[in-house]
């Protein structure tokens, strides 16, 4: 399967079902499809929230303060419960899915107490309190909700909540401090560390725990997951030398060179979180994202089964943006192209629109494309931008290039794309009647407000452009010349993409673009996909925050050689959210770049949306 979700610094993860995973970040929880890795929805939560649990219909978010968020996954609604007056903070350790009970450690003055609470999320109340004889650093459920494991310094204890005694039923002395504990497939497990030596213990009800594995700081251990018919459980582990997650039978992990059941590449060594739906799927997470893998371990050939699922996920990801409207628009576009080839006057230009219908105003700008003037309709007094392009339809290549721009712009209807109202031709010019905008991003950077934009304005621009690119890419349209001159904004501050003269579909791959903004595959004349627009967006974002292009030489020119190598190292002074985004866009390998949809789910955009929501809320509060 090995399906990747690129998200920076996840805090925790929880599998809702085999099609939905909840990913908690520092101030929001996002829901992703497990089959297509796409973002489905997002909810904002307090930054103190650090744990997420899920069951069939609900997701529960718990933080340091006594607050529980509940999200109904069927209705997409979020409910906040302020619980337990008198307790300033707590530590959440586990969740029992069947009983819907949280296992909490209350704190007083920031210090853990000799108490463990069972909190029922259905009734928003504490249903039981366990008084322990020692302070526990961690607690977990075993198989039943009345069986609780606790750990402390050199101590691992088992409690039965059905009795009245606060004494442990079983208590074991383990050397070192506890790193983590858990329960899987009738096996309780505990990892300890003492003088850089880690030990893994398991216990299934016998007299004493069994030491399964001893390892040093060069290796890492994530946890145990349910095994197959031949194994009680699999150990999830790896080394810091490579980015691989290894599944090994718990009986074999102590061998000098254990035979692994399966291993696969992950984006970073030392996975720090995981969740599993036994027999279906399991998820692991680290600082760079989340990995999803099949948990159907009992199939005849798990490796081949996993590869087939991986290919199915890849196809699902490529199809996820397709819907009925997109397919219909593509049919319309194909029909226009076919008609244009049969008769050059069919569905290309507007014969009822002429230059005499407008009052031509001041010059707005010039370039290699031609000139743009402000104009006013004599009929409606509405203002437009009139773009003049030299009529070169006698040259066959130019003829189809201009007609392609007309046809593409006719079909693009999006709030972040400059509208084209009409196109007509004269003996001298081809004229485009366009939506009137205030100025270009180029003007903002070089003439109006200095060379550097603030983070909020960069986020607004990025969201608008990514929205436009997502819309185009879903229709298999590549802009191919994204740059500040082709990003305009209106009086409301909405940024829009313009100039589709270089746009094409994924079947064509000519050398096209502007130096400095062209992707490595354009420089090397390789296959061109929608990923080249995302590279250009990364360059634009870098320019907005630094005032220059990333591979710019002291002479002001951009080195094609440096672009083709694409060793991008953003300055350490760059905003962290912007830095993280540009690193995912300015990449040599087109397949590794973030898509426009992934940009919309980036931390930069999420922070901007949350800030915008807060600004609206503050303005509304001022009206009270």
Sequence-distant (≥ 6) Cβ neighbours of residue 393 within 8 angstroms: 344, 399, 402, 425, 430
Sequence-distant (≥ 6) Cβ neighbours of residue 591 within 8 angstroms: 531
Least confident of 225-234, 267-276, 462-471, 537-546: 267-276
Residue linked to tokens 């707590």: 90
pLDDT at residue 357 in the model: 92
- Say how far apart CA 467 and CA 459 lie, in whole Å: 12
When the candidates are 3.40.50.720, 1.20.1250.20, 1.10.510.10, 1.20.272.10, the CATH number that belongs to 439-616 is 1.10.510.10
Q: Is the pLDDT of residue 346 over 50?
A: no
387 assigned ligand-binding residue: yes
155 assigned ligand-binding residue: no
Q: Where are the chain's structural domains?
A: 324-434, 439-616
- Say how far apart CA 277 and CA 516 lie, in whole Å: 47
For the chain, percent of residues with pLDDT exceeding 90 = 35
Provide the 3-class DSSP secondary structure of residue 476: coil
Confidence band for 393, pLDDT divided at 50, 70 and 90: low
Could you tell me how many residues make up the chain? 624
pLDDT at residue 504 in the model: 56
DSSP3 helix / strand / coil % (the chain, rounded to 5):
25, 35, 40
pTM of the model: 0.57
CA dihedral 403, 405, 407, 409 (to 10 degrees): -150
Three-state SS sequence of 134-149: CCCCEEEECCCCCEEE
Q: Is the pLDDT of residue 337 over 50?
A: no
Least confident of 105-109, 273-277, 469-473: 105-109
Catalytic-labelled residue, pool 12, 481, 533, 607: 481
Task: Decide which of 31 and 329 is more confident.
Answer: 31
Edge-first strand listing for the sheet containing 20-24 = 12-17, 20-24, 28-33, 39-44
Q: Is the pLDDT of residue 313 over 90?
A: no
Fill in the DSSP letter of residue 254.
T
Provide the 3-class DSSP secondary structure of residue 440: strand
CATH topology of domain 324-434: Phosphorylase Kinase; domain 1 (3.30.200)
Least confident of 102-111, 155-164, 338-347, 384-393: 338-347
* Mean pLDDT, residues 178-202 taken together: 91
At 617, list the tokens.
């809320």
pLDDT digits (tens, 9 = 90+) for 234-274: 999 999 888 889 999 999 998 877 889 999 888 777 788 99
pLDDT at residue 168 in the model: 85
Q: Is the pLDDT of residue 165 over 70?
A: no
Instruction: Give the count of beta carbons closer than 10 Å to the beta carbon of residue 288.
Output: 18
Residue 226: active-site member: no
Instruction: Give the count of beta carbons closer than 10 Å to the beta carbon of residue 44.
Output: 15
How many whole angstroms from its chain centre is CA 109?
A: 37
- Say how far apart CA 154 and CA 148 lie, in whole Å: 17
- Say how far apart CA 437 and CA 435 lie, in whole Å: 6
Q: Is the pLDDT of residue 398 over 60?
A: no
């Amino acid at each position: 399967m090995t399906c990747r979700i690129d998200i920076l610094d996840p805090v925790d993860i929880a599998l809702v079902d085999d099609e939905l995973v909840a990913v908690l970040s520092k101030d929001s929880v996002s829901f992703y499809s497990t089959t297509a890795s796409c973002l489905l929805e997002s909810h904002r939560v307090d930054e103190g929230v650090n744990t997420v649990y899920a069951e069939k219909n609900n997701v529960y978010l718990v933080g340091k303060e006594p607050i529980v968020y509940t999200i109904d996954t069927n209705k997409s609604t979020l409910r906040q419960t302020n619980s337990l007056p008198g307790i300033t903070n707590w530590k959440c350790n586990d969740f029992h899915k069947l009983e819907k009970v949280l296992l909490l450690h209350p704190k007083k003055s920031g210090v853990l107490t000799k108490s463990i609470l069972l909190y029922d999320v259905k009734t928003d109340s504490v249903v039981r309190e366990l008084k322990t004889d020692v302070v526990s650093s961690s607690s977990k459920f075993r198989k039943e909700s009345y069986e609780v494991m606790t750990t402390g310094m050199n101590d691992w204890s088992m409690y039965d909540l059905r009795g009245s005694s606060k004494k442990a039923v079983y208590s074991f002395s383990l050397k070192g401090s506890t790193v983590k504990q858990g329960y899987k497939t009738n096996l309780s497990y505990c990892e300890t560390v003492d003088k850089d030596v880690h030990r893994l213990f398991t216990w299934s009800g016998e007299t004493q725990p069994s030491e399964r594995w001893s390892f040093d700081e060069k290796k890492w251990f994530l946890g145990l997951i349910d095994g197959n018919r031949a194994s009680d459980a699999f150990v999830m582990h790896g080394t810091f030398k490579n980015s691989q997650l290894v599944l090994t039978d718990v009986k074999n992990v102590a061998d000098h060179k254990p035979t692994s059941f399966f291993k696969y590449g992950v984006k970073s060594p030392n996975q720090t979180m995981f969740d599993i739906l036994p027999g279906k799927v399991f998820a692991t997470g680290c600082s760079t994202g989340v990995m999803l893998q099949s948990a159907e371990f009992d199939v005849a050939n798990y490796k081949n089964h996993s590869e087939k699922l991986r290919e199915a996920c890849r196809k699902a990801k490529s199809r996820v943006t397709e819907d009925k409207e997109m397919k219909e628009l593509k049919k319309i576009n194909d029909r226009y192209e076919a008609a244009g080839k049969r008769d050059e006057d069919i569905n290309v230009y507007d014969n009822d629109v002429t230059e005499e219908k407008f009052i031509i105003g001041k010059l707005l700008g010039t370039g290699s494309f031609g000139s743009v003037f402000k104009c006013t309709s004599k009929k409606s007094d509405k203002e437009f931008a009139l773009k003049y392009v030299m009529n070169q339809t006698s040259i066959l290549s130019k003829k189809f290039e201009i007609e392609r721009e007309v046809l593409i712009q006719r079909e693009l209807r999006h709030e972040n794309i400059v509208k084209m109202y009409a196109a007509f031709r004269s003996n001298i010019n081809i004229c485009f009647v366009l939506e009137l905008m205030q100025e270009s991003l180029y003007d903002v950077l070089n003439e109006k407000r200095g060379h550097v934009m603030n983070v909020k304005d960069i986020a607004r621009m990025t969201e608008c452009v990514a929205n436009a690119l997502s819309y185009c890419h879903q229709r298999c349209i590549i802009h191919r010349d994204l740059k500040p001159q082709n990003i305009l904004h209106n009086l409301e501050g909405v940024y829009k993409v313009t100039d589709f003269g270089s746009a094409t579909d994924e079947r064509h791959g000519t050398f096209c673009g502007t130096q400095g903004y062209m992707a490595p595959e354009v420089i090397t004349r390789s296959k061109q996909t929608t990923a080249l627009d995302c590279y250009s967006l990364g360059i634009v974002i870098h320019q907005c925050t630094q005032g220059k292009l990333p591979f710019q030489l002291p002479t002001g020119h951009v080195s094609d050689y440096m672009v083709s190598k694409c060793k991008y190292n953003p300055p350490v002074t760059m905003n962290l959210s912007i830095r993280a985004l540009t690193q995912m866009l300015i990449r040599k390998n087109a397949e590794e770049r973030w898509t426009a949809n992934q940009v919309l789910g980036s931390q930069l955009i999420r922070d901007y949306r949350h800030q915008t929501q807060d600004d609206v809320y503050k303005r509304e509060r001022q009206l009270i």
